Amino acid sequence: MNVAETVALVTGGASGLGEATVRMVVDAGGRAAILDRPGSPGETLARDLGERALFVPADVTSADDVDRAISRVVERFGTLHVAVNCAGVGVAMRTITKQGPMSLDLFAKVIAINLTGTFNVIRLTAAQMARNAPNAEGERGVIVNTASAAAFDGQIGQAAYAASKGGVVSLTLPVARDLASVGVRVMTIAPGTFDTPMLAMLPEEHRQALAAQIPFPSRLGQPAEFAGLVRHIVENPYLNGETIRLDGSLRMPPR
């Protein structure tokens, strides 16, 4: 699919990797819906990007919220071709702490947002994409998920986060197989350490220490590089059912 001719829904689209993806789609000539929490900068971003952008506030764990958001996208832009799942949370806590075992509610919250929320968006956007007329390749849509290098190299304190992102990796192939019959491709990107607003809050010496762990290039990833890979996935019809690590060959140490 040519990004310039697509309508994309990006969860977590108000900041970080999601914002970079939204900007890429609009800059390429496509139209983008920013799905993020109410009170996020999504409305401001959509206003700045103009008529080819739309903010749809929603909680990815809510079936009703996401369903309403998709309806608004279709009402505004006529269809939906691409979904990019960037919404997520990162929580660090050891399985056992000095205060006792890790909160089960906290573990469940991370799974609910990062894994269940991703699948919620997949199932609902795929149902909408299945209504599209196929292009010359037989494609009706493309879904790109966001996992993490932690899915493979989870660090101390990342049991919940690594499990949630490992789940995203594991569902990629079976969902791609599920959706093959309707012409919807499914891919996942597993980023390493990226220069996002979350990392921007760290002291500079900590940021430099993180960058030094990356073999080459020895720096933090740029959100535009993530967005560039999203574009390539959308425009390369033979990419399907796979997870691509985007991490400068980083293999995360235990801590």
- Cβ atoms within 10 Å, residue 113: 19
| Distance in Å from the first CA to the final CA of the chain | 40
Nearest to 87 by CA among 118, 122, 43, 128: 118
Q: How far apart are CA 163 and CA 254, in angstroms?
A: 15
Q: How far apart are CA 29 and CA 154, in angstroms?
A: 38
CB-CB contact of 247 with 146 (8 Å): no
Report the length, in residues, of the chain.
Answer: 255
Peptide bond before residue 253 is cis, with ω within 30 degrees of 0? no
| Catalytically active residues, by annotation | 161
| Dihedral, CA of residue 77, residue 233, residue 239 and residue 150, to nearest 10 | -120
